[in-house]
Structure formats: C-alpha cells, structure tokens
Structure 1
Amino acid sequence: MVRWWPRLVDALVAAVVLLSGLAEIWVPFSSRTGDGHLVASTLQVAALAAAVWFRRKRPLTAVAVGSVAMVAFHAADVVHLLFYGQLLPLVLLSFAVARYGEGKRAYLGGGLIAAVMIYADLTIPGLGGAGELIFHWSLLVVAYSLGTWQRVTAARAEAAQRRAIEAEVEAAERALAAVLEERTRIARELHDVVAHAMSVMVVQAGAAELVADRPEEVRRALGAIRSTGTEAMGEMRRVVTMLRDPDDAALRGPQPGVAALESLIADARAAGLPVRLEVRGDVRDLPAGLDLAAYRIVQEALTNARRHATSVTDVAVVLDFAGAELRIDVRDDGHGDPSTGGSGHGLIGMHERVSLYGGRLRTGALPGRGYAVEAELPLEPA
C-alpha cells in the first residue's frame, strides 16, 4: 500500500469528526445538550479533530491533546455536551492508542482516557445516569480492546514474517556455502587430473627426445602428447573460474573413476546396503574429469540411499553408455526417513558436477516408495 494512503484516511476521518461536530453544534442536532458557547464548543471540537488527525503517528500525544481539550473546556463550563464532537473522538483515540501505542504508552494512553471519563462522570451534569455510564464506557472498552487485539495480532504476524525471512536468508547462505564448498572440491580434484596429464606430457616429450632418430616412435609420442594435452585443456577450461584452496596436500592421490565402482559397491554391500551394478552399452574410456564426475555421482547417490532411507531391500546402479552420452541411474526402494534429513549438500554437489559437463540431473521420490537419481553426461565423439 502506498505511503500517502494512511495519511489520507486519517485526514478524512478527522474531517468527518470536525464536520459532524460542527453540524451538531450549529444545526443543532438533538444530541447536543447542556448550555455552552457556540464558539468555545467549536474550538473544542477542532482540537479533538486535530488529535484524531495525528492519532496514528503519535497516539499518546493525540490522547494527551484530546484529554486537555476535554478537561479544560468542561472545567471552564463554556461548552455543550456533544456526542459526535466529544465522545466519538474519544472512542477513536481509545482505539488508536491501543492499536498503535508501543509498550507502556498503550496502557498510559488508556489510563488517561479512563481518567478523563471518570472526571466527566463526576463533574458534568447529565453523565451520571446508569444508562449513560454503561453506554459510553462500553464504547470505550470495546474500542480499546479491539485496538489491543489488532496490535497483538499485527505484532505476531510481523514476528512470524521476520522469522520466515531470517530462515530464508539462512537457508540461502547455507546453500551458497555448500555450492562454494563443492566447487572448491571439484576444482581441487580436477587440478589433480590436469596435473597428472601435464606429467604424462612431460614424460612423453622426454621420450621423444630420446628416440629422435626413430620417426615412428616420435610420432607416437607426439600423438600421446597431443591427446593428453587436448584433454587437459578441456578440463582446465571447465574449472578456470573456480576458486581453489591452496592447502591441497591431502588431495594429491590418484582420483577414482568408473573402473573403481566395483570397489565402491563392494564397500557399500559390506556396510549392509544391498547394491547391484549393471553396465550397458559399449564401455568407453572417459576423459579423466568426466570419469571422476561419474564416480562421484554414484558415490553420492549411494550415500543418500544409506543415510536417508529405511527398509531398503534393493539399490540398482545402472551405467548406460548410450551413444553420445553416459546415463547414470541409481534407484532404491526404501522409505524416506525425515529424521535423517541432511543439509542437501549431496544434491548440490551432483548438480554442480553434472552442470560442469553440460549434462542433466533429475532426482526425486518414486511413486509408492523409493528414490531415484538420474544423470546424463555428454560424451565426446569416440
């Protein structure tokens, strides 16, 4: 809602109070009782209307102005007794101080209005009857109670919204941290792949120097250098924008690939997870980075099946070398266990690895029971 709208509403309400009060005085309405001066009554109504005008922005000040206007003019015995010009503004101020007053100000404003009404009941003729007391006190109590209820409801809604925003920001920060962590891990692993390729190129270059007088062996060494260098350059292009942790001493060992899946699945079986592996199509040698990505995707899918599912009786791992892409399909038949819900870093890691090679990833629960991870990794032409 635009900012000027509340101010316009306040001005219109104040104008209604002012005009109805003036009409009550000057027409006059039957609700005007007692003796009083028309001008003095007009000044009192104008002061009360002004208090109504800024009741939302400064509720306690508005109540104070309204209280002074009521007590001062009636103490001087120069104004009429009015409904629209006096009681109606007090009801509006009672609601406003309860709705918009902060902390003790709401109670202080309510007490001030109550004091004004007690003074009026004790000193103004015509307000001491039982009917009058029940009527105006009922209006004031209902208005104050309604304002209090709205203030409490608004405070609860604001607190809930604030908690939701904080939770959303925290989740976004955790997701960003997970992405950065996983990209750093991928960069470090691919760094080792590229470093190994560079070592092979250096060895082949040295071998070519030793057999410089044998053209066939030189061509063979140069071909190996070219093939290895092309693969290494491809991996470097993929990882060039990722940041690396300089402390990579713990990650300089050989990196696993598809060939190591048998060992990975054997370890999973030994840990109690019923896993079976099926390889379809013509198995091909994969670029080192892609080989590592396929292994990590299967590894993370098995980790998810072990951590986040119960009553698992079968986990199927399928690798399909289908033409121009490698399809990875890991499915289990377990029930999701909410108590083991993790941070989601595993799915983020799989997504980052698949995206790095321009592939596609689909994950989700299966109908009835079970969970599936499907990844498609493009293969370079053989």
Structure 2
Amino acid sequence: MDVTPGPAGTTVTGPAGPPPGAPDPEPPTDPRRRRARRLLAGIVAVVALLLGAVPALLESAGPASSRDLPRGAEAHLGLEYAPLPGQAGTLDLFVPREGAGPFPVVLWSQGSGWRSDGGNVGGERVAEQLVRRGYAVGLFSVRSSSQATFPAQLHDAKAAVRFVRAHAGRWGLDPARIAAAGNSSGGWIAAMLGVAGNEPALEGTVGVTGVSSRVSAVVDFFAPVDFLTLTGQMIPGACERFNAAYRVTLCHDDPGAFESRLIGASTVQHPALALAASPLAYVDAADAPTLITHGTEDWVVPHQQSAVLFEALAGAGVPSAYYEVGGVGHDVRYAGSVAALPTTVVSAHLDPAPVPGEQLTWPVIADFLDRQLGDPPVR
C-alpha cells in the first residue's frame, strides 16, 4: 500500500481494503406501518428489477490532494465497501492518530437531495470535530437517484455498515459501537439505518453480507422523514423559493422534486411507495437512540418533519432528543457556531436528559454518542 503525506497531522493511504405541532405518535401496529410493510415485499421485488445502475455525469470531487482533510487523523481514502457505479460505494475512513483503539465509529453521508453519488465528500469538518473526541469517522457515498431508485440507497448504506463491522479489526475499530449520522438526504440515510434495523425486506444484498447492519445511535440533521406531508409543512415563502431554486412548480409534490426522483415515481400519484421510503413509517421500540436537530428557517425541509419524527420515537419508547434551533436554515454549520442561538430542546427516555435551552454543538453531539455507544476507552 502506498503512503503519501497529507495535510498537517494526517497520513493518507491509497485505495485499499478487502475486495469486495406534531400529531400523536403512531404505535408499532399503526395502519400506516402495516401498509408500508405489506407493500415492501412487492415494491422491493419490482424495484430490484430497476437497480441496474446507469452511471451519471456528476461533479467530480477532484483528486484526494485537493481535499482539506481532518487534522489529527490517519486517512484511508477510496475504500470500496461495495462495487457500485461512479463514486458510489466509496468510504473514506479517518481514524484518530492519538490514543489506542478499538475506536467507536460514526458513519456520515453528506446530503445532496439524492442527486449525487459523492456523499463521501463534504463531511470533512464533521469528521474533524468527532475525531478529536476519539471517534473514527467514515464518510461514505451511496447511489444517486439517477443511478438507482429506492431502496437502493438504503441497501448501499447498510452495506457500508456491514463492511465496517466485518473489517473493523483492520483499522482498530470497535464493531459493537457504530453510529450513523448525516444531513438532509444524508440525515434520511442515518434515520433509515436507525429505524430499519429489523426490516429484512430492506436489507439488500449489496457488498458484504452475513453481518449485522444495525447501528447503535443516530444523529439526524434536518432529514425529510414523511414524504407525503413535506409541502404542506413548508414555512411562509419557502415553496416559492424552493420552486425557483430547483426548477419545479409544486414544491416537494412536484414529479421532478427530490423525493419523487428517489422513488422513481410521483409521490402524489404513488403514495404507498412514498410511504415505504419514509423513515416515519418504520418507527418502533427497537430503533436506535436518536438525536435530531433542525433550524426553524429551513426553506428546503420544513422543521416539522423533525418534530414529528421525535414525537414518534418518543412515543415508541426510543431514547431521543430534538434540538430546534431558531433563525438558522438548511446548513449543518450551525453546530459549530460561536454565536448564541435560541434553541428549544425536548427529549424522552434519556438519562440524563439534555439541559433545557442547551445550544447544539459538536461537544453536545459527542456527549450524546458517548452515552449511547459507551465512553471511548481512556487514552
């Protein structure tokens, strides 16, 4: 394996790795969940016929040397967790240089509205924040909606978890302590990993198999979780801004909007398929503890989506917290803000509970992960 110097404090190794107001919460037996699960087998069978990926012409991330990689980490770039088209199937792993493993792992996928297969690029500053707290961070990509439709993206994400778990010893990782995190559509990936741990119909056969794809915690930045209610929840003026920005006319209900492209059909005309791709449909008591955060000025994904997900998780008995941040939009950088941001915090089944009004920061997120995954070993 070739080793080349990276940015300060970083070692870069080349491609490697083994070959291949919220409504009342719905109980696990809610008709929506029954319908979603009843439809899954048929839907997945049909969609499986469409999963032959067609490479998309997407913006290149550029060579590894052009990236501002996390400081304090040994970087393993270009790991292939599964043979997928384009940049999909790529995992860039950052392992703390300080301390001894096995390190807990956070798997992050960068959001793009499912339009890009480059989810392994864009989370470098997230990785740096967590590496300094003793976490290994894997930035991973899944297929875009132009390469394959749902459930391909979840199959890919589960394959990334299985890959890390199966080969944890190679990089000094702890296979028992894996969390998922992401923003926007990457938050959707994290949320789906958290709620679909017991959904065999959504497991897929991508990459490594025979290993659990369950995660032990989730950090969700402003994910869409109920595709059928997105447009109706948008804040004043957001629909017009969304239409202009993304060249649609019906906001999230447009056949050309992100969610319809993900499922390969209009969410309005095919509500059953839209429901089957919505994390809210799978909430039950076995789900991973989840920290959710959303800004009240988000014009892309309405913050009510996160409020509803929290209520459903809390109602199912899942340890969870929701940080609603005033005055910020669709941008993960508010977690690193040095300015005071008005924050409303609600939680359920967490001990200790978050401090009321506590501002969301990366140390707060790391504290949540420490408690859910178990504190990293003393260094």
Which category describes the TM-score, using the shorter chain as reference length? under 0.3
With the length of structure 2 as denominator, give the TM-score of the two structures: 0.20
Considering Cα pairs closer than 8 Å and 6+ residues apart, tell me whether 1 or 2 has the greater RCO.
Answer: 2
